[in-house]
Amino acid sequence: MNEKTRDTILTIICYLLSLLPFVWWGREMAEIETLLYGELDTGQSMLFYGGSLLVLLIWFSIHTIFHEFGHLIAGLLTGYRFVSFRVGKLVLVKENGKLTTKKMTLKGTSGQCLMCPPPSKPEEMEDTWYLLGGPLANMVLASLSMYLYSIFTYTLATYIVFFLGGISGLICCIMNLFPMKAGGMVNDGYNIFITGRNAHAKAALYYCLTANAQMSEKEQLSDISEELLSGIKEFSYEDITNVGEGNLFSLCSLIYLAEGEYEAAEACSRRLFETEGVLGLFKYEAQCDLLYHELIGACRQEEIKKLYTKELKKYINQTSSYPARKMLMFAYYHCCKKDEMQATRELCDLKALKDVYPVRFDYGTALKEVERLKAAGHPDIGKLDL
């Protein structure tokens, strides 16, 4: 069985398993409705079921926070260092020894807790408990809710507080614990499944987490550990369809860009973009990078049209808060559209991210890249106030 078939089967099973709590929820709602209210007319039933759905969505938000706290606690207990904690757009980071808030969105996720693993050989990193922490936290809260629901008398309050809390937690646990690769993203269970079977994938995850920690704190390339940079560039990228390796290879492209090694950066992005089976998220990032290299290089209209597709425009819009997107759109308006007013707006938006975006290296690289273009004598770049 090839990996694509395996991943498809695992994802289908995960979705089917997640339906079971919904079936249970439907049966329980019907029973609660009968016990508490007897026969309801259509309007009353719609109000009851609609209210239940609204409360369930609120519980999902609570479980998202609890899930990320699970990762945080499990990571701290196994020697990891706190880097950032995100729920929705709000990101909590540690900066100069103090906790502060930033803003960021990540396509396909509602929360994220990133930590830095303790020093070790990359292929021997302990990651299982850190990855398991989130789903286990959902299961603990779900189990507690269901236990309390079982010992209290049926009331609307116990149904709302305990039963819906348990059902939502059970769904969250299944969707995060059972291996799934869908929508351009993977879950905790999939990462555990892959790193448990493949030491090379575990090493890639180690480098990704360590790099994220340093890049969150350092704005300049010169401040990043030489050992880390060498480890990423010299890593043997045997299978970039593997999530960890694909993520690390994308970081490798960013490092080459920061070093001014444009050919190497473009080669990384092209391999990511053209390799079948690479995670959708990394393909879109690679496509953005290829568009950028085309804009600041040959700037061929036919190539720009091929790369700047309707799908990519949607992705760029979804990730518009990234410094790299501001850099890309500056290049697009400046080099392709010759629209200096819009290009200036993109640069203003980029500079506004300095104290907002949580990954300082991404911001520093994007801003420095514009300065490189200016130093290289890019047409009319000097007209803009950088």
pLDDT, tens digit, 9 for 90 and up, residues 97-115: 788 999 887 766 778 899 9
Do 165 and 233 belong together in one domain?
A: no
**Together in a domain, 293 and 334:** yes
- Provide the mean pLDDT of the chain: 87
Q: Are residue 254 and residue 185 in the same domain, yes or no?
A: no
Q: Reduced to 3 states, what is the DSSP secondary structure of residue 265?
A: helix
Say if 88 falls within a structural domain. no
Domain boundary among 162, 178, 194: 194
Q: How does pLDDT run across 269-328, given as a tens digit for each residue?
A: 999 999 998 988 899 999 999 999 999 999 999 999 999 999 999 999 999 989 999 999
Task: For residues 147-160, give the mean pLDDT.
Answer: 82
Share of the chain above pLDDT 90, in %: 57
Are 256 and 289 a contacting pair, CB within 8 Å? no
Higher pLDDT, 372 or 39: 372
| Residue 323 sits in the same domain as residue 174 | no
> Is the pTM value of this prediction over 0.85?
yes
Q: Which of 194, 210, 245 corresponds to the end of one domain?
A: 194
Give residue 98's pLDDT. 83
What's the domain count of the chain?
A: 2
Taking 90 as the threshold, does the pLDDT of residue 197 lie above it? no
Residue 112 lies in a domain: no
Q: Is residue 91 a part of any domain in this protein?
A: no
Query: Do 373 and 253 fall within a single domain?
Result: yes
Q: Is residue 324 part of a domain?
A: yes
Say yes or no to pLDDT of 384 above 60.
no
**131 and 262 inside one domain:** no
Pair (160, 213) in one structural domain? no
* Burial class of 251 by CB neighbour count within 10 A (0 to 12, 13 to 18, 19+): buried
Looking at 179, 194, 209, the residue that finishes a domain is 194
Do 132 and 21 share a domain, yes or no? Answer: yes
208 and 190 in a single domain? The answer is: no
**Mean pLDDT in residue range 344-352:** 91
* Helix, strand, or coil (residue 266): helix
- Looking at the fold, whether 176 and 158 belong to one and the same domain comes out as yes
Q: Is residue 70 part of a domain?
A: yes
Q: Give the whole-angstrom CA distance, residue 216 versus residue 9.
A: 36
Tokens standing for residue 141:
């809260």
Q: Are residues 190 and 238 in the same domain?
A: no
Which of the 8 DSSP states describes residue 290? H
Residue 143: pLDDT above 80? yes
How far apart (Å, rounded) are the C-alpha atoms in residues 52 and 57? Answer: 9
Instruction: Report whether pLDDT(353) > 90.
Output: yes
Instruction: In whole angstroms, give the CA distance from residue 113 to residue 50.
Output: 32
Residue 105 domain-assigned? Answer: no
In which domain, by residue range, is 8 found? 3-80+117-194
- Note whether residue 62 is domain-resident: yes
195's CB contacts (< 8 A; 6+ apart) are 127, 128, 131, 201, 202, 205, 244
Range with the largest mean pLDDT of 61-75, 101-115, 184-198? 61-75
* 330 inside domain: yes
343 or 382: whose pLDDT is higher?
Answer: 343
67 in the same domain as 206? no
Per-residue pLDDT, averaged over 205-218, amounts to: 94
Find all residues with CB under 8 Å of 88, minimum gap 6, and list them: 105, 110, 111
